[in-house]
Structure 1
């Protein structure tokens, strides 16, 4: 999701009156840790080519894409003067037509355990950058120039939503912490009401499901700009 563009998010919900607090590096570390722990429970045979939920990618490719998102956000914050108008110029390449364009690829010979180690390592890079980058720093993202908190929130969305995709493909049950979902919704989807079930709301906001009276989104994006 990090290098794609979509139509602006439609404000079909009223803004939430609640203020759940800032997104933190601890929230990101928690989300990545829970996702990695869950994915380790999938049998090795489950990784053999099955699609990740509604995505066109298989589960292995989706973990590589998620790892790459976390890596890309970390390096975007890395330069002493982060670019505000472009991405740090790594080369992103797909390994097959229709596959995700990544700078990060896991060694297939290392198996699922190695793949998940790659994910955990990329998550740790972003956690470290969020912890150590001054809060006044700004860096480019296609959905708005953002700050370290914004990149943490983006990393959490990538992690929890793509783990939802992976759980569907691997036959697992996944539900991230509601309070983390609520904080991410408030940071990146300020026009979306955080109701009694923040996780379902986040899945709706990212086009994964329909809610009662709310059809499934076919286009969406978040607002990564810095909150005043």
Structure 2
């Protein structure tokens, strides 16, 4: 059962995903080309690998919602693989010869594919996720959280500013982290919820997951 949320009751929409993708692209396009092989914040991945992971996740979420009978007990069986030990296991990779601009184009394209899917899938669709089956709104919120949290990692690694809008953060907190503490800035709270910051009286999380179950309609 989804806990009652103290955060904004506004629904997460595909427009929120579009906004998250656009903000991420704007931030990352300022990165110098030579910085992409550096570590992404506290992650074990390089900045390049982290954007590939984001792209892979977006396409994977779209794939979960795509079949006429969405999977209920596992992921659509793409062949995931690692390019090195410790790297993310992806089915989607960017052509290195296309450089950072090509990498970001792959990310933008995968975000557009997910955006199209969540706009057209019936809102009552349920598909498997390891944190619990979810609906198109849930997968949209998951993608927004992935974009905001991993762009935070990337901004740390690339030396870029990153401060997403409070409203966007409150909507995904309501949808996926309804048990998060209140009384703090939404972006700080979202970083705490995803194990990336401390809150007063709340130590940094070492394990976390979201609540993917659909909200009552």
* Contact 2:6–2:174, Cα closer than 8 Å, also in 1: no
Distance of 2:200 and 2:182 partners within structure 1: 14
Larger CA deviation: 190-199 vs 217-226: 190-199
* Contact 2:7–2:178, Cα closer than 8 Å, also in 1: no
Aligned residues: 214
> Which 4+ residue blocks in structure 1 deviate beyond 6 angstroms?
none
Matches within 5 A, 1:142-153: 142-153=130-141
Confirm or deny that 1:39 pairs with 2:28: yes
Unaligned ranges ≥5, structure 1: 1-10
Confirm or deny that 1:98 pairs with 2:113: no
Unaligned ranges ≥5, structure 2: none
Q: CA shift at 1:43, angstroms?
A: 1.1
Confirm or deny that 1:87 pairs with 2:84: no
Confirm or deny that 1:158 pairs with 2:140: no
TM-score of the two chains, using structure 1 as the length reference? 0.91
Q: 1:174 aligns with which of 147, 162, 179?
A: 162
Q: CA shift at 1:32, angstroms?
A: 0.6
Q: CA shift at 1:20, angstroms?
A: 3.1
Confirm or deny that 1:30 pairs with 2:19: yes
Q: CA shift at 1:17, angstroms?
A: 3.3
Note the aligned Cα RMSD (angstroms). Answer: 1.3
